[in-house]
Amino acid sequence: MPSCSHTLALAAGVSLLALAAGAHAAEPDLKGRCLALTQAMAGHWPDASTRITEAIPQPAGPITLPPMMPGAPGTPVQLPEHCEVYGILHERAGLDGQAYAIRFHLRLPAAWNQGFFFQGGGGTNGDIGTAIGPTGSDTPPALAQGYAVVSQDSGHDNQRNMDPTHGGTSAFGFDPQARADYGNASLKPVADAAKALVAAFYGAAPRRSYFVGCSKGGEEGMVFAQQHPEEFDGILASAPGFALPRAALSQAWDVQAFAPLAKGPDGQPSFAQFATAFSDADLSLVRDAVLEACDADDGAKDGIVGTFAQCTAAKVAPSLKARTCAGAKADGCLTTAQVTAITRSYGGPRTKAGQALYSDWPWDGGVDAPGWRIWKLGVAGKVPALNVVLGGASLASIFTTPPTALPPDPQALLRWQLGLDIDQAAGLLTATSPTFPRSAWQDVSARSPDLSGLKARGAKLMVPHGASDPVFSINDTIAWWKEVDAREGGKAADFARVFPVPGMNHCAGGPATAHYDAFGALVRWVEQAQAPDRIVATAGPDTPWPGRTRPLCAYPKVARYKGAGDLNSADSFECKL
């Protein structure tokens, strides 16, 4: 039986369709319909605070997609003729004296495929997004495929709300509603507003709706899957940051592990020296140790650890020991301190009593890739250690209660992280106060194993995740999926599947077959009932084996070599337990 809110939404949808039909009759062309949207939607929004700030008819033409990783080049794509809409809702004054609002960006293509696509955010958000719907490395964006696409800033703006005395762009964490909007509260209002605009513009509601995001966008997908399962037919939640506060604590743990290896002239840990804790050659030694210990376990010694979940610290330890310097540091060996630091990092944060506070990490072959280094250590002179500049600022301002005011100075952030008592900091993730009646964990996490609403709706969830992701551990994602599967009596794969990508870093990159069309697989699952057991993926030009193909297997299966055939061909591998 539909709920009261659902009935009201349907009634509002009918009104919007009638309104849209009149707009179509008077203005049949895209330009006219686009320019008429502001007036047509006045008084007809699901949330009365919503308004359009701009509606711009756009001709077909090129645009450059932002890079997946810092320093990488953008990707040029051709966009179709469309109506570009900017909107705003929930304008308010924050408790911190800042002016806040939720801003969204919607593109409505002239040639519509009757689909709706919600583009997830990233990092601390604060950017309204491109609203073109990236779908993968080698596939056209959703807008070019005919979808109406929306993106949003999650309730704060990196320029308007930036405060250099309170963590810079993380300053919104000092306002409780802004923190809640960032975590989850902005998502459904934006989805509702965008769907109302779609119905008004086209004269019909979307036939199918999809959410696609990675990292923070993956967390947003999990919010929809767990809290608002009625919104989407299919959700692609890649590398989900569904335990963001705990992952930020893990970043501080890493900083404490690596900092003793990065001392300045005064003998104290120095942010300027952080990248020197491990040279590129040192990380390659770690990769060599991992491959020696675990590469062949999937039947093929090929530089990919297909059985990464079984590649543990105990299994890698002898190979690391064999590469440990007998005396002083020298080329071709690691110091004892380096081995201790990286082993501590892979073990994940723990209390003084040994209780896990987040997750450990699999020892995988992507440890020496730039996408691993930029987070844990940084690249000297190019990219600062993101665990410090992003992780430290986020933990201080957003993920702990009360928040701590810090300047966005890397050395200050490093000192703060090094001064943390991990046990005490863990308690701040779930702490509340009169100003913050909800904890950071309540606001900015989506790790519930309860997907009963998604299952009842008949919607599908896919979760690709790199095994060498240095930000969110795939071991945590797998542990969550096991909880879902146990709750569903071993039937979770009927509607939710995790697809590990051995060697891949955070959302992309690494010595991996990291080019794949997960969105296409999701659409086929939703619309043609073709459940994806495997997705064929390709290695990019930045890998040791450009053009190599591999099947990405739905967990718990892994790609195992058949015993014969080309090691660079997916046909030589099968998904097996």
pLDDT digits (tens, 9 = 90+) for 83-122: 999 999 999 999 999 999 999 999 999 999 999 999 999 9
Mean pLDDT over residues 277-296, rounded? 98
Per residue in 68-97, is it b (16+ CB within 10 Å) or e — as a string? Answer: beeeeeeeeeebbebbbbebbbbeeebebe
User: Is 215 an active-site residue?
Assistant: yes
Summarised one tens digit per residue, pLDDT across range 497-540 is 999 999 999 999 999 999 999 999 999 999 999 999 999 999 99
Split at pLDDT 50, 70, 90, the class of 28 is low
Mean pLDDT over residues 16-40, rounded? 66
Is the pLDDT score of 332 beyond 90?
Answer: yes
Is the pLDDT score of 464 beyond 60?
Answer: yes
Is the pLDDT score of 71 beyond 70?
Answer: no
Mean pLDDT over residues 339-349, rounded? 98
pLDDT of residue 408: 77
Catalytic pick among 151, 170, 186, 215: 215
Is 437 part of any domain? yes
Q: Please identify which residue in the block is written with the tokens 């539909």.
A: 2
Residue 164 burial (C-beta neighbours within 10 Å; 0-12, 13-18, 19+): exposed
DSSP code of 66?
P
Split at pLDDT 50, 70, 90, the class of 13 is very low
Mean pLDDT over residues 188-207, rounded? 97
Is 517 part of any domain? no
Per residue in 351-377, is it b (16+ CB within 10 Å) or e — as a string? Answer: eeeeeebbbbbbbbbbbbbbbbbbbbb
Is the pLDDT score of 131 beyond 70?
Answer: yes
Q: Please identify which residue in the block is written with the tokens 């404490």.
A: 256
**Range(s) of the domain holding residue 313:** 246-443
Summarised one tens digit per residue, pLDDT across range 397-455 is 999 999 999 987 899 999 999 999 999 999 999 999 999 999 999 999 999 999 999 99
DSSP string, 376-432: HT-BTTTB--HHHHTHHHHHHHTSSSS-----S-HHHHHHHHHT--HHHHHHHHS--
Q: Determine the length of the chain.
A: 577
Indicate the number of domains in the chain: 1
**How far is residue 446's CA from residue 465's CA, in Å, rounded to a whole number?**
16
pLDDT of residue 67: 66
Is 71 part of any domain? no
Is 103 part of any domain? no
Average pLDDT, the chain: 93
pLDDT of residue 24: 37
Is the pLDDT score of 77 beyond 90?
Answer: no
Q: What is the pTM of this model?
A: 0.93
pLDDT of residue 68: 57
- The answer to whether 211 and 232 have CB atoms below 8 angstroms apart is yes
Is 227 part of any domain? no
**How far is residue 389's CA from residue 208's CA, in Å, rounded to a whole number?**
39
**Alpha helix segments (H runs only) across 141-259:** 176-180, 187-202, 216-227, 244-258
Summarised one tens digit per residue, pLDDT across range 349-360 is 999 999 999 999
Is 34 part of any domain? no
Is 354 part of any domain? yes
Catalytic pick among 44, 105, 506, 515: 506
- The answer to whether 470 and 505 have CB atoms below 8 angstroms apart is yes
Mean pLDDT over residues 274-293, rounded? 97
pLDDT of residue 70: 57
Is 325 part of any domain? yes
Mean pLDDT over residues 162-178, rounded? 95
Q: Please identify which residue in the block is written with the tokens 């280094």.
A: 373
Mean pLDDT over residues 555-573, rounded? 97
Mean pLDDT over residues 13-20, rounded? 38
Per residue in 221-253, is it b (16+ CB within 10 Å) or e — as a string? Answer: bbbbbbebbbbbbbbbbbbbbbbbbbbbbbbbb
Phi, psi of 465 (to 5 degrees): -155, 130
pLDDT of residue 63: 80
Catalytic pick among 254, 469, 485, 517: 469
Residue 213 burial (C-beta neighbours within 10 Å; 0-12, 13-18, 19+): buried
